[in-house]
Structure 1
Amino acid sequence: MTVTKDTLIGEVLEADRTTAHFFFEMGMHCLGCPASAAETVEEACMVHGVPAQELIDKLNKHMAE
C-alpha cells in the first residue's frame, strides 16, 4: 500500500495496525472513533497541525520495511 494525502486513516490502520503510533505521535489519540477512520491523512494533519507530507513519508517508509 502507498499512502497519499487522500488515503483514509481507516485504510492505513487496516493495512498495518503497527502504524497507529505515528498517529499517536501527531496527537491523534482518537483512532477508535468512527469519524477518524473516515478522515483522510491530509484532513487529520490539518486538524492536528502536522505537515501531511511528513506523516505520509513516515507511513510509507514504515510500511515498505
Structure 2
Amino acid sequence: MEITKNSIIGDVLDQHPETAQIFLSIGMHCLGCPASRGETIEEACMVHGADADALVEAVNAAVK
C-alpha cells in the first residue's frame, strides 16, 4: 500500500495500526471518530495545521 496525502486515514490505520502514534504525535487525537477515519491525510493535516508532506514521509518511514 502506497501512502500518500490522498490516502484515507482509516485505511492506513487498518493496514498499519503501528502508525497511530505518528498521527497522535501531531495532535490528531480523534482517530477513533468515524469522521476522521474517512478523511484523507491532507484533509486532516489542514484541520490540524500540520504539514501533510512531513506526515506522509514519517508514516512511510514507519511502515518500511
What does residue 54 of structure 2 align with?
54
Runs of 4 or more above 2 Å deviation: none
Query: What is the deviation of 1:2?
Result: 1.5
Query: What is the deviation of 1:44?
Result: 0.5
What does residue 5 of structure 1 align with?
5
Deviations 1:6-42 (CA, angstroms, capped at 9, x unpaired): 1000010001111000110110101110000000000
RMSD: 0.6
Q: Normalised by the size of structure 2, how large is the TM-score? A: 0.96
Give the unaligned 5+ runs of structure 2.
none
Q: What are the residue-to-residue correspondences of 1:14-33 with 2, within 5 Å?
A: 14-33=14-33
Deviations 1:33-56 (CA, angstroms, capped at 9, x unpaired): 000000000000011111100000
Q: Normalised by the size of structure 1, how large is the TM-score? A: 0.95
1:31 is aligned with what amino acid? L
Distance 1:55 1:31 in 2: 15
